[in-house]
Homo-oligomer: A and B are copies of this chain.
Amino acid sequence: MTNPHKLLIIGGVAAGASCAARARRLDEHAEIIMIERGADVSFANCGLPYYVGGEIGDRAALAVQTPASLKALLNLDVRTGCEAVKIDRAGKRVEVKYLADGRSEWLAYDKLMLAPGASPLRPALPGIDDPRVLTLRNLQDMDRIVAATAEGQRAVVIGAGFIGVEMSEQLRHKGLSVQLVELQTQIFPQLDAPMTDLLESELRRHDIDIILGDGVTRFESQDEHLRCHLNSGEVLDADLVILSIGVKPDTELARDAGLTLGPRGHIVVGEFMQTSDADIYAAGDAVQTQDRVIDSPTNVQMGGPANRQGRVAADHIFMPTKAKPYPGSLGTAIVRGFDVAAGITGWSEKRLIAADKPYQTVTVNDYQHATYYPGAKPLSLKIIWEPESGRLLGAQVTGFEGIDKRIDVMATAILGGMTIDDLCHLELAYAPPFGAAKDAINLAGFAACNRRDGLVRHITELPTDPQVQIVDVRPKPLVDAYPAPGTVINIPFPTLRANLDKLDRSRPVITVCAFGKMSYFAARILAQEGFYVSSFSGGIKANIDPRTPAKLPTA
């Protein structure tokens, strides 16, 4: 077959540029035009916050490619400042407008790729048009924020997702005071709440004022600053506001062209990234694809999926018989706040609850490498699985080092259709600087299987019922320094077997320790001694100062 001669790509950042590069690799002679409304193509949008804080010192490093470099490397016809106005599907052409001079023209296509991306949400709140209310999508937005930080001292960041957390960190690096406002009752709301505790305390430790369960209702301009009025009635004074409450897909063009959109306005695509018009493809933040874990529509705004989607589309356009489908998105994500990282892959517990799907979960606390080797730092790993099959549905990790590694292994395990049994026997790299003979991931597998096999009952909240005997098995000095809430009997673990007579077999017991490991050990003893016992999952982590990690018993 003759390859399509003219490929027109609307949008030149992640999905669009990847599609163009792959297309050129596959067809040296196709005419490839890539238009971009903004001033830059193929820039490193995930790097923008780090330039604001000065971690990335060279602005040019963010402009990964330019129209000239793409011409030289890929023989692409790249037009920036060029907006697509209308798609004429019957005529297979797109009307474009050049923002510099207002000129319009029609560009013909054999195949069209839509990679319009998504815009930061700017709800119609009073005062939101004040120029001090900033969002971050491109280099020009970044420049505006940098200019504002040169003049202002007080920043209010609205929304504690990726951009909100990263911008808060970077604004603190820059020396500004930062107040971070989040409508939900936790930061980084993709994760289940307890998994963001460490990140939250790390941000607070760096003097970021976190205001949870509150949102902005209006902005009031004063002479020198902006007043942010919150739902709670609180008023925050700001020299600049970063609005990072989410994005909406830029899909007006697709909608006007009559392409099928999803319920939230995303372009619906098939497994080869084709829209409802087989000659029009779409990829990136603006599309709705399939979830890879539970068959359902999803939309992921991340660079990785965008790049790979663009590539799949190019494959399908230029080598249709060899192209492999896009397998869907998993929703892997990670964020860093100072020394702490938190990440997620697959489904969270709250998302499963909302979708009314059955699941089981355990959380284990461990270290990123052997505790006998210097520099061991704690991490928490939560895994979620399907009760019947044991198939993994999701994982969340937080801690100081090796967080990305555990997320990536869990993402791979989920994509491999692995189960909690498989986690037990992942053979991961172990040398003292890198891991442990039993990695946290193996331990999570053990804990999950123990639960499945009925070896332990877990509870995640300590009851106040006086009938329940709460047994804290930590050493007494630790218990005295960091008591567990409620009425607690302290029986240090090594003395438990000798002190069974202090407990009443007719009343339920909950065992508690620092990390959730000794309490499991204690629960095993008590269960075999005839007690009805549950182990407090995850432990009283508060007593572990992560800067001076305590040694865990490894037996």
Contacts and interface: CB of A to CB of B under 8 A. Distances in A.
Interface of A: 14, 17, 21, 25-29, 42, 44, 46-47, 50, 55-57, 61-62, 64-65, 69-70, 72-75, 162, 166, 292, 302-308, 311, 319, 322, 324, 326-327, 329-336, 341, 343, 345, 370-374, 402-405, 407-409, 411-413, 415-418, 421-422, 424-435, 437-439, 442, 446, 449, 453, 455, 493-494, 497, 521, 524-525, 528-529, 551, 553-555
Give the most central of A64, A311, A404: most B CB within 10 Å: A404
A430 B555 contact: no
Contacts of A319: 453
Given A307-B438, A308-B438, A404-B434, 12 more contacts: A25-B521, A56-B374, A56-B432, A65-B554, A65-B555, A304-B428, A304-B430, A334-B429, A409-B409, A409-B412, A411-B426, A416-B416
Given A47-B372, A50-B432, A17 B555 contact: yes
Contact of A427 (B64, B322, B345): B345
B427 A415 contact: yes
Nearest to A493: B73
A430 B334 contact: yes
A491 to B, nearest CB: 13
Contact of A336 (B404, B428, B431): B431
Contacts of A415: 416, 418, 422, 425-427
B73 A430 contact: no
A49 to B, nearest CB: 9
30 contacts: A26-B455, A28-B529, A44-B370, A44-B372, A46-B431, A55-B374, A61-B371, A61-B551, A69-B555, A70-B555, A72-B494, A74-B555, A302-B430, A304-B428, A304-B430, A304-B442, A311-B446, A322-B453, A324-B449, A326-B425, A330-B427, A331-B427, A402-B405, A404-B434, A407-B429, A409-B412, A412-B412, A415-B418, A416-B416, A416-B422
A548 B508 CA distance: 62
Given A426-B415, A494-B73, A27 B528 contact: yes
A28 B434 contact: no
A421 B324 CA distance: 8
B427 A305 contact: yes
A500 to B, nearest CB: 11
A296 to B, nearest CB: 16
B528 A437 contact: no
Nearest to A63: B372
Give the most central of A292, A434, A493: most B CB within 10 Å: A434
A111 B234 CA distance: 69
B528 A343 contact: no
Contacts of A497: 75
Contacts of A405: 402, 404-405, 408
Nearest to A29: B528
Contacts of A25: 455, 521, 524
Please provide the 3 A-B residue pairs with the shortest distance between their CB atoms, ordered closest to farther.
Answer: A416-B416, A303-B437, A72-B494
Given A412-B413, A415-B416, A555-B17, A427 B332 contact: yes
Contacts of A425: 308, 326-327, 415
A494 B167 CA distance: 37
Contacts of A421: 324
Contacts of A311: 446
Contact of A373 (B47, B69, B324, B343): B47
Give the most central of A72, A75, A551: most B CB within 10 Å: A72
A324 B493 contact: no
Contact of A438 (B304, B341, B432, B455): B304
Contacts of A551: 61
